[in-house]
Amino acid sequence: MNKSLDIELVMASCRGQTIGHTLIHYDTLGSTMDEACVRAQKGSPEGTIVVAEEQADGRGRFDRQWISPKGADLLFSIILRPSIQQLPQVNMAAAISVCEIVRNQTGLNAVIKWPNDVRVRGRKISGILVESVVDSGSVDSAVVGFAINVNSDHTKDEQLKSIATSMRIETGNLFDRVRVLVGILQNFNHHYSSVIRGKPLTKLWESQLETIGQHVEVRWKEDVYEGVATGVDEAGNLLLRQPDGSQLVAVAGEVTMQGS
């Protein structure tokens, strides 16, 4: 489980792709997001990946800490340079790619909790984070961070076991992290290439959202909105039918589903 990733094999498997032509591998790193953001600002080309066996300061949305044992899971960030119109599709491409590989390798139904958590049986198996630098209406760079629980086992952690899971926990099997990583990168390359060609992923992404049709609460800063999630718009914003019948468009926030 703790064997380091074979980066040469990963790069060979991604040869010819936009995504994965260069992988920068660290044994331990503060945050792959932070490192990738610095490299993006210094001009690293699109498709460059920063991957770490362990993060000392890994984070997810709302700056929450992401905990992962060294060498157990997948922690990486990808530098992208989409247009401002394509930017909302980056998160969609990432979440779809993770869902596909989890389903393919475990046989389980992975779904997306709006906007970017991947869950299996109601527990989080992956988190995705997108950070971008926009200047004068154009995207200078975007970095998408992936954290996928592959072989970690936190079933004895009282705080985590009810809200998080892994491919290992769900199946009882250990997984080849190289195979999982290559699969995600190939999937992401395919979907991101579609976005660049002008083919939106909104409908495909929406079809995998477990949030649609559910009674939810959306929290954003000090505000809380309640209603039924009826769908998403073309940019991926959540459409919420409130109790008074009015429609709210949620651009960001944390969703809690009734019963979850």
The CATH number of the domain holding residue 216 is 2.30.30.100
Residue where a domain terminates, one of 206, 230, 245: 206
Spatial separation of the C-alpha atoms in residues 249 and 236, rounded to whole Å: 10
Domain match, 225 and 132 both: no
Q: Mapping DSSP to helix (H, G, I), strand (E, B) and coil, where does residue 189 land?
A: helix
The whole-number pLDDT of residue 199 equals: 96
User: What range defines the domain where residue 230 resides?
Assistant: 212-257
- Single pTM value for the model: 0.93
Same domain, 118 and 246: no
- 27 and 150 share one domain: yes
Angle at 186 between CA 185 and CA 190, to 5 degrees: 115
Total domains present in the chain: 2
- Which CA distances in Å does 51 have to 24, 26, 74, 118, 207? 6, 6, 8, 20, 30
Which pLDDT does position 56 carry in this prediction?
85
Q: Per the structure block, which two tokens stand in for 238? A: 């959540």
Q: What is the pLDDT of residue 258?
A: 63
Q: Across all residues in the chain, what is the average pLDDT?
A: 92
Answer yes or no: do 129 and 16 share one domain.
Answer: yes
Query: Is 79 found in the same domain as 41?
Result: yes
| Model pLDDT, residue 62 | 45
End-to-end CA distance of the chain: 31
Residues of the chain with pLDDT under 70: 1-2, 58-66, 258-260
Assess if residue 1 is contained within a domain. no
Domain co-membership, 105 together with 80? yes
My answer on whether 106 and 196 are in the same domain is: yes
